[in-house]
Structures are given as C-alpha cells and as structure tokens.
Structure 1
C-alpha cells in the first residue's frame, strides 16, 4: 500500500543517503548515474528481484536530435525540429517547456551514456515512425529493451551505483513542510526497513497494472489486455495524491495495435510504415495505418472479436528480421505465408471477395495518388506483392503517460504549481509529452521521458544534495 506519513522529522534513521531513487528501470538507473557524475551518493530501491520495468518490455528506442550518430549518416536534425514533431503529434497538448527541455538535452544525454558508460547506441535506419520527420531513434544492437536494461545495469555496476532489489517502498516519510525525510521499504521476509534521504526521485513508472486507476482515468482501455510490467501499480500517483501534488494528462497512454495473438509478441510498426495493411475479420481495412500505433490499439479492439491481421510481403518480412521480437514471433509460428490472395483469405478464414476488393482499391489509389477515405496514400514503390505474409494481432495497453506534474528538471509541483522542497519524478511516474489522450503518443516518448528526464532530475537532485 502506497502511503505518506508526516512523521518524517521524528524518525531517527539508522542510515541516510543523500539521494534515494525509487525504481530501477531506465529512469532510475540513469538518474543514479547522473547523480554519481556530480559526486553525490545515491541508491536505487527496486521492488523486483531483477530490475526490469517497462524499459525491459519495450523496443529500447530512445529518440534524440542532433547526435553524432545522426551526423555520421548525414541526417540533419535539431532539438527544435524534434520538439515541433512531438507537439504536432500531440496537438500541442503537452507542456512545451518540458518538450523543449527533453529535446534540447537528448543528444547530450545519449552521447554521455555512450561515452561515459559504454552504452553501444546506434541509429535505426530505413524508415520513419509516425510523427517523426527525421531518423532519430537510438538503440542498442539487438534492438530490444531487455538489452538496453542489461547495458544500463552493467553501467550502474561499473560506476558503483548500488541497486537494492526486492526492496518495495511502501511509505514516504515527510515533515510538515512537505520535505521528504526518508522512506520505508519492505523486504522479502516481510520485515520493514527505513532509509533517510536529502532528496527523493520517483522513477517507479505508471499505473497501467492498477485496474482501479485505469478504470478511473482510462476507461476505454479498462478491458484491454495489459502488456506492460506488472509492477506499474501507480504508487507515484497515490503518493502524489496524498501530498496534494498536481496530476496531469491522466487519460494519456501508449497503446499498441500490433501485438501478435495469442503469442503476445510485439510486432514492429515498421510493417505498416513500409507498406503493410491491417484487415479485420471481414477482410477489410478500417483505418489509416500510418496514423500511429498507439491510437491503433483502440481501433483494433473496436473490430469484430478485437482482432486484425497484419498483411505484408517478403520485402517487409526481410526488413523486419532485423528486430529480435519479430524473429521470435516467426519462430513461434505467428508469421504465416501465402502464395496468393485467395490462399491468404482461405488460410485466415476471411471473405475472399472482400480481400480482393481491398487490394483492388489499394492498386487504384497507387495509380491515382489519391488518399483513401481514412487519409492514407499508397506509394507505388511500396506496393505489396506475392508471396504475402500475415500475423494475427490484437490491441493492448502498454503503459500510461500521465502522472505527476514536474518542472523542466523534474521537480514535482503541487496543485498551486509550487515545487515540493526535495521531491523529483521522471519516466512513467511523471507527466509525459504525449498530451491528454492516446493519439498524441509518438514512438519513443516513453523512453525519452525516462532516459532524458532521468538524467535531468538526477543532476538537479544531486545539485540540491551537494
């Protein structure tokens, strides 16, 4: 149970650490590394036996603008371009100052992690995710969040950042001035330990795994499959409510309209961006597949049985083999191959005439260059050809994007827009940059908030502790 107690000034802590960080995902680890770089001692408290978080379950892509990785490939990008892309996607609902701060610091943070901590970043090439005007996704070689987490944990160990696992924080101890004096955390044997601090960073992600909070704030996804970390129980939100903190954009979330079903393997949206389509059980398209994979989750769930089929071809299949998740899907039999459209319709139990009509319409649109009724245009060079590939998918909730309102350096604000004395937040615990709903999410927004805000909050908290 996430609680706040106002007894913080009365407790004699056996041990006090300048900076305590709750949560050992990307945000918490980067925040700790950033604090150490300022010469400030920090400790990360992680509830699980192995730090994973939402980062582990992601593709591990971190957007950044103006990096040397981009320049080496001749890509002209800037924080201003990136910030405009983010704000355009979320219809300027996000805090523009936060967006500017994250975009502005993104390149420096990526290069710092690469140079100082050996994170082997490289640039994803070949296609643009919805909303991005430049190739700016930075990832580790295997292109998985699992690998990114492993790299960050190695960096933490090398830097001497202690990560205490199986330490579930239950209570924040504050004083009458709302200064956090320490925390209580529960150990595996049920015992409770207390730890004092000079500053606290909440990096414990969102509330996607809390059905009550989802029903309250994101009712449209209350019955959706939750494909996120089970530890995302919303403790930061609950602590914030007890402290009268400001909460913003609580209906915002990242969904995904391409989760292989029943295999439950994430299928990259590169399938759609390279020319793929989605068909429902009636053999028809139902949306603009280039609009974004987050909002596509609700659209897929709105189809008969909440099911769709990703349909693509050998060209796209070959490109997707660079993604480990896709290779895993193929190895489990999720990827089906058909020599003709009629074979595809028969194999997927779709009405064959509807499938043929759909492809005839696409061909006509390629010839005329006109947009379809959903607003999508079909480039002739991306035309699908036999053999055809298909994956049965559903929509899912991945993680929430709303949370504690923060300043550009991660300071948590109260309902009167005043900062708490020594409380910081980042990643899924804080308000993100995706606006107020599901359509503002742009690929990488979650890890942008985790990695870059983690660094900014870690530095700011360290400066306060120094």
Structure 2
C-alpha cells in the first residue's frame, strides 16, 4: 500500500510503530509549554514535554519576562483597585486600532489573571507588579514579573515547578512529523534525536507551544518584509514548524504579518535597552541628530521607524535622572552599562564628541526639546513633553537599531485553545498557544501592546493544559 502524502511534516496514516506514549504531548518548553504541562499534570494527565534544544530557553528567556494581567491580588497589594479584564481588553483593542481578533483579546484578558494566581498558589511562583512607570498603551499598572525581572528567571521558575511536578522534559528532541487519522485527530509525533535516530510517541492530545517563525528568513521575507532587513533578536529555533503543520492540516492561519519589533536594541552589543528611557523623558535621534517620530507611540513600531533612518541607526539620549532610574530597575540596562554601550558627557558638545553626532544639529535638537518640555512649543510628532522633568546635563546616550523580536500571527484557536480549521471547526485533539497561535496584536507591528507575547503564552498555555487534560481523559480506554 502506498504511503499517504507527507505535506508540511504531516502524515495521514497509521504510525509504523510506537516507541512511547503519553496522554498529553507538549511541543516546546517555554512559558507556554511549561504552563500548559503544569496545568495538565495538575489535572492528573500523563504529560511529556519535547524541547528541540539541549537546554530550554527560547523566546521566554530572551524576553524581559513581563506579563500584563488585570484584577490580580498582586495588583491590589500595590493599591491598583480599578483594573478589570474589560479595561485590559479595551487597552489591547485601542493599541491595535480595533484590528485584533476580538475573541482572542477577550479570552486572554479574562484568563491571564487567574493563570498567574494559579501558578503562584500551586507552585509558589512569586509575582510583583511594576509601578515605577506606565508601560506604553496600558492605562493601569498591571505588568507582572518575578522578582529578578528577567525572562530567564521566569523560565527558571517554571522549570523548577515542572521538576517539582515530576514532568519529564525531553531535550534535544526535534519534532519533525505529525501523524493524523482521517478525522484529523493527531495520533502520534515523530522526533529526531542528535544521533540521527527517530522515536514515535503516541498521544491522546497534542499542544503546540513552539513559538512563531522569526527564525525562518524566507517566511519573514514573505509575510513581514518591512522588518526583513533588521536584526532578529529572538530564538533561532523559531522556524514556523507549528504553522507548517497547521497549514498542512487545513488550520485557519491569521495575522501572519503581525509581529513585535523593538526600536531600542543596543548596537552592536545586541542588548535590549528598556523603553522606560523614552517614557521617562528621553528622545531618539538619527545620525543627523534629528528626531524622527513620537517616541511614546510604542517600541514595537519604533523598530520600523529606526530602520528607515540612515544606516538603520538611532541614538537614545537622556539625562542622569533617567540613567539612575534605569540602573536601579532594569537588569538589561545594567548589562549594557557593563558592556560599555552607554556614552556619557557633561554637555551637548561633549555628547556630540562621544557619539559622533553633528554638534550644531544636536545642540539645536536639545534646545527644541527643552522648549517642548517647558510647554513653549508644539511637537510636530504630537508627543506631550510636559509630563516629565526637562532633560539636563550630564547627558547619556546609547546607539541602537531596530529588531524583530517575535511574530504574532499563527493558528486560530477557540475559547478552549483548540486549533480551528478553515471552516471554524475545532480539531479533535489539537491545541495551541503562545507564538504558535494567533495573538492579540493585530496584523500590524503597531498593534503590539507591551507584554502581549507572554500574555498569550501563559494565558493560552493555561487554557490548553486545562482542556487537553480533559480531552485526554475522555479518550481513556
């Protein structure tokens, strides 16, 4: 008998053998996959996590680790009493100009708070709420983080929780193929091992938590050509596997042109420079010492603005007040200081000398900004400069470029995180979250609201783990 066609890594036939089995197989050991695994295991499922790398890291460890969530007890601890899932959803939709998938925005907004509280209650993951400044697009202080304030620390805590829950994580396990029956039920996955051997695992349910396609240059060029020339500051393993499998299965793919960019990646150091510098009063200029945008619109779309400048370069300029603020609260900024990325000068002339910016033009720009901060002029880019103290010497600066962080489009899911086909019908036992699923940022880079990546990773992972467990139990013999 001839084998069924292999389309996008999917075989529509019975697996030739089964080497192992699990109720729930999760592909990807980032925030989404580990949250899903923890939730499924807590429900009594036999769970197995497959991770392509020798050590889990992925997009989570490269992120800031900040997760927006409304109406949590952690918010109430710092006095935020008036946030809600409706307010958060409104902020998401406002940032995307109403272009987000509204059902997903609603789903993420109402799920993320309970998910964070459950992770705290069940596994002791501590959350603090950052209230030192309001992140772009958020109307409330709702950004949660573990005390270390890094994505690497968040991942470490999730890995520790997984170890506590005795969830096996198989590393160096590259999933290359899915097996599906005629009813579109996923029956098994095939993985490749470093020695070239393959193993086939049967599953009752499958969760795709293997992020997006930022590490696939061909897909980036096809779907988001505007950022194709920029640096990719994401995990190289994000090759779009979930999208390939979903497309072959007939899944509904949405918002593939959506992504998170960042207009403040230290160059050439490759260290993220917090956008708090801008929100606290800093400015960005190009190599001609000219401002070119409203720095408060958002750091995601700023990536495109920066890349459109000569040589794709900009300089963040700010003063000692902002420098000290960043030093005390942002580990990435501390790393940038240690790496020698930050330039310092006593006045505008000295700043021009240490940055190579034209002195006359830089002095003019700083004078214009001073007038804006004093309320004596209107900004042509419509930024309000009067809400923060005026910049004053000594000055600090860091050279930056624009970068792609991660993609935001993917497999469309329903309220149970089940993947939908192109008719809107859910697949029998296929779930997705994080970068594998369609996010809430719309098809445009400007739709990204701070924290949207980890928002959908944890919220949709939480849902997938809950419902995949139920699905697996329903299929017990």
| Aligned with 2:102 (options 96, 104, 116) | 96
The equivalent residue for 1:210 is: 216
Change (3 A) 1:260 1:40: same
| Aligned with 1:394 (options 375, 391, 401) | 401
The answer to whether residue 342 in structure 2 is matched with residue 342 in structure 1 is no
With the length of structure 2 as denominator, give the TM-score of the two structures: 0.96
The answer to whether residue 3 in structure 2 is matched with residue 33 in structure 1 is no
Give the aligned CA root-mean-square deviation in angstroms: 1.2
Q: What is the rounded CA distance, in whole Å, between the counterparts of 2:412 and 2:40 in structure 1?
A: 22
Q: What is the rounded CA distance, in whole Å, between the counterparts of 1:380 and 1:174 in structure 2?
A: 57
**Secondary structure at the residue paired with 1:382?**
coil
- 1:247–1:431 Cα contact (<8 Å) kept: yes
Deviations 1:19-50 (A, max 9, x none): 10101111000000010111111111000000
**Secondary structure at the residue paired with 1:172?**
strand
The equivalent residue for 1:197 is: 203
Change (3 A) 1:380 1:150: closer
Consecutive unaligned residues in structure 1, runs of 5 or more: none
Deviations 1:325-370 (A, max 9, x none): 1101000100111100111112211122211211222222223365
The answer to whether residue 147 in structure 2 is matched with residue 144 in structure 1 is no
Consecutive unaligned residues in structure 2, runs of 5 or more: 1-6
Deviations 1:388-412 (A, max 9, x none): 0100000011100001111122111
The offset of 1:119, in angstroms, is 1.2
Of the structure 1 ranges 275-284 and 14-23, higher mean CA displacement relative to structure 2 is found in 14-23
Alignment of 1:231-246 (within 5 A): 231-246=237-252
Deviations 1:172-197 (A, max 9, x none): 00011111001000111010000000
- 1:369–1:378 Cα contact (<8 Å) kept: no
The equivalent residue for 2:193 is: 187
The answer to whether residue 44 in structure 2 is matched with residue 67 in structure 1 is no
Deviations 1:132-179 (A, max 9, x none): 011111111121111101000000000111111111000000011111
Deviations 1:41-81 (A, max 9, x none): 11110000001110010000011001111101111211111
The offset of 1:15, in angstroms, is 2.4
The offset of 1:298, in angstroms, is 0.7
Q: What is the rounded CA distance, in whole Å, between the counterparts of 1:357 and 1:34 in structure 2?
A: 57
| Aligned with 1:225 (options 231, 244, 249) | 231
The offset of 1:2, in angstroms, is 5.3
The equivalent residue for 2:385 is: 378
Alignment of 1:43-442 (within 5 A): 43-75=48-80, 76-321=82-327, 322-368=329-375, 371-379=378-386, 381-442=388-449
| Aligned with 1:461 (options 440, 447, 468) | 468
- 2:273–2:332 Cα contact (<8 Å) kept: yes
Q: What is the rounded CA distance, in whole Å, between the counterparts of 2:437 and 2:9 in structure 1?
A: 18
Runs ≥4 in structure 1, deviation > 4 angstroms?
Answer: none
- 1:371–1:378 Cα contact (<8 Å) kept: no
Q: What is the rounded CA distance, in whole Å, between the counterparts of 2:229 and 2:188 in structure 1?
A: 37
Change (3 A) 1:291 1:149: same
- 1:369–1:377 Cα contact (<8 Å) kept: no
- 1:61–1:139 Cα contact (<8 Å) kept: yes
**Secondary structure at the residue paired with 1:265?**
coil
Q: What is the rounded CA distance, in whole Å, between the counterparts of 1:452 and 1:43 in structure 2?
A: 20
